[in-house]
Chains A and B, each alone.
Chain A
Amino acid sequence: MTGRAQSNLAALAAALLLVCGALVATLAVAGGAFAAADRSPAATQTADAVADGFLAAFGVPGRANAVSAPELANVSAATLSARVPAARGESVGLTVGGSAIIRSDADGARAERLVAVLTPETTANRTTNGGGVFLPPGTEAAAVRLRGGTGENASRVTELRADGRTVLANESGLRGAYRVPLPAEGGHEIDVETEGGDANTTVRGISYEERGAVLTVITDA
């Protein structure tokens, strides 16, 4: 009886030792896991803010959640930090549809957006010396170049209207290139009001070819 009890005591001691050892190891692993856990979502917020800022700064006017394919070529780390405040001082990697726009070795938080990549398609130049230009349905913007003179006696463009709505007006004459966003539905009419004779104006309709792509922004943790 005594012999058995003592052998049990030794086994109990050994068992306690093993359990304590395992407990210490478990606490070490748990402590490591807690230390490594991401308890501050600030990095994720930065990535989200950069993604939103990118779409706001490089997006297509009049279209939500859309970037222009030719514009993507102008995106670099320098232009991004210049135009997106959230990206300043951050290492940012940016990919659209799997192809890298900005390369970076950042590997912390990531933000994803499903965006439309738009490739603009323009109609042929239409010239008008005052009067209306009709644009086909599906046209989402008009690129207008006004070449009239300025001043009292010059032949000048005084008003530009889209579907009857005044977009630009200046009694002394309008000059320069403008981009007028138009609703996508239905055809459109661009009216040019001139004074003092013919004022050469060219109008091009812009429609977009759409493609869905995933925008990924990766920032350092």
Chain B
Amino acid sequence: MRSRESEDGARGTRETGRARAQLSVPLLEAALGILLLLSVAGAFAVGVPDPGAREARLDGYAADGLETLRDGDPSLDAFVRGETTGIETRLERLTPPGARYRLESDTQSVGAPVPAGVPRGRASTATANGTATLWVWYG
């Protein structure tokens, strides 16, 4: 009895709004469904950008840079031993145009501080006297 009353009450409010409730519910649902499907289709059509691609490329640059530094003068070994003279000039020449770098050993570091929030590459290698880490980024 109670529920009936409340239903009546509900119907009453619906009756008053009846002139406005013209939009068909199935069509509304269909529109929502189509939007959902189109968003899926859009994701397939546009494709998802690969956020790791740029960092992976810079990681490769850093690894290649360390490999190059192993030979030549001053070498990576000399830097890890504690001789920092000249290594900065060498890195300056070896990084691609527009790129910046930071080279760190267990005790020393040269180059600019590594910024946050930009894609940056990093590679580490072991030498006879410790580990060397090179960061490369554009900025």
Residues of B within 8 A of A179 (CB): none
Residues of B within 8 A of A184 (CB): 71-75
Q: Which of A12, A16, A29, A140 contacts B72 (CB 8 A)?
A: A140
Whether A112 lies near B30 (C-beta < 8 A) is no
Q: How far is the CB of A43 from chain B (nearest CB, A)?
A: 16
Knowing A15-B26, A33-B47, A212-B93, say if A26 contacts B41 (CB, 8 Å). yes
Whether A66 lies near B41 (C-beta < 8 A) is no
Whether B38 lies near A185 (C-beta < 8 A) is no
Instruction: Annotate A180-216 by CB proximity to B: 1 below 8 A, 0 otherwise.
Output: 0000110000000000000000000000101111100
Instruction: Annotate B27-44 by CB proximity to A: 1 below 8 A, 0 otherwise.
Output: 101110110011011001
Cα distance, A97 to B93, chains bound together (Å): 13
Contact-residue bracket for chain A:
35 or more
Knowing A113-B60, A114-B64, say if A15 contacts B74 (CB, 8 Å). no
> Could you list some 14 contacts between A and B, CB below 8 A?
A11-B24, A11-B25, A19-B37, A33-B44, A113-B64, A114-B60, A114-B136, A137-B73, A140-B72, A140-B73, A185-B75, A208-B72, A211-B94, A212-B68
Q: B residues within 8 Å of A by Cβ?
A: 24-27, 29-31, 33-34, 37-38, 40-41, 44-45, 47, 57, 60-61, 64-65, 67-68, 70-75, 78, 90, 93-96, 136
Q: A residues within 8 Å of B by Cβ?
A: 7-8, 11-12, 14-16, 18-19, 22-23, 25-26, 29-30, 32-33, 62-66, 97, 112-116, 137-138, 140, 184-185, 208, 210-214
